[in-house]
Amino acid sequence: MDRNQIHTQLLALLTGVAPDIDPDSVDPVRNLRDQFDFDSMDALHFAVAVSETFGIEIAETDAAALANLQSAEHFVEQRLLSKEHT
């Protein structure tokens, strides 16, 4: 899966968690909490969706990696790569 596919998937997951945000308006480097008033439950729902969709386990300490779309892309890409190598 390339970075573009990851980006598209993550956007879909984001709007699944928060149906009231416009996918075209997402600023990839801005914190989701500031950008969309994500609360802790929204952030957890997003983590669950990412974990299930990509088949990767996400520790509580990885939460910071999902703070914005770009870092989430990077995180998922790295996890998928390390999965391939194991």
Partner 1 sequence: MDVEFLLPSLGADMEGATLTHWLKQPGDRVRRGEPLATVETTKGLIDIESYDDGQVLQLLVQPGTQVPVGHPLARLDVEAGSHTAAAPAPPVAPPVTGPQTLAASERVTPTPTEARATHTRMSPAARRRAHELGLPLSALEQAGGGGIIHVAEVEKLAAHAPAGSSDARVAMRATIGATMARSKREIPHYYLAHDVDFSPAREWVTRYNAAHTVKERLLEGVLIVKAVALAATRIEGFSGTFHEGRFHPAGAVHLGTAIALRGGGLVAPALLDAHQKDVPTLMREFSALVERVRAGHLRSGEFTAATLTLTSLGADGVDVLYPIINPPQVAIVGAGAIREHPWVEDRQLTVRAVLTLTLAADHRVTDGRSGARFLRTVADLLADPQSL
Residues that bind partner 1 (CB under 8 A): 15, 17-24, 33, 36-37, 39-42, 44-45, 47-48, 51-52, 57-60
Of 2 and 19, nearer to partner 1 (C-beta) is: 19
Residue 6 CB, nearest approach to partner 1 (Å): 18
In sequence order, which residues have a C-beta less than 8 Å from that of residue 14 and are 6 or more positions away? 21, 23, 26, 32, 46, 69
In contact, 43 and 66? CB cutoff 8 Å: yes
Residue 86 CB, nearest approach to partner 1 (Å): 19
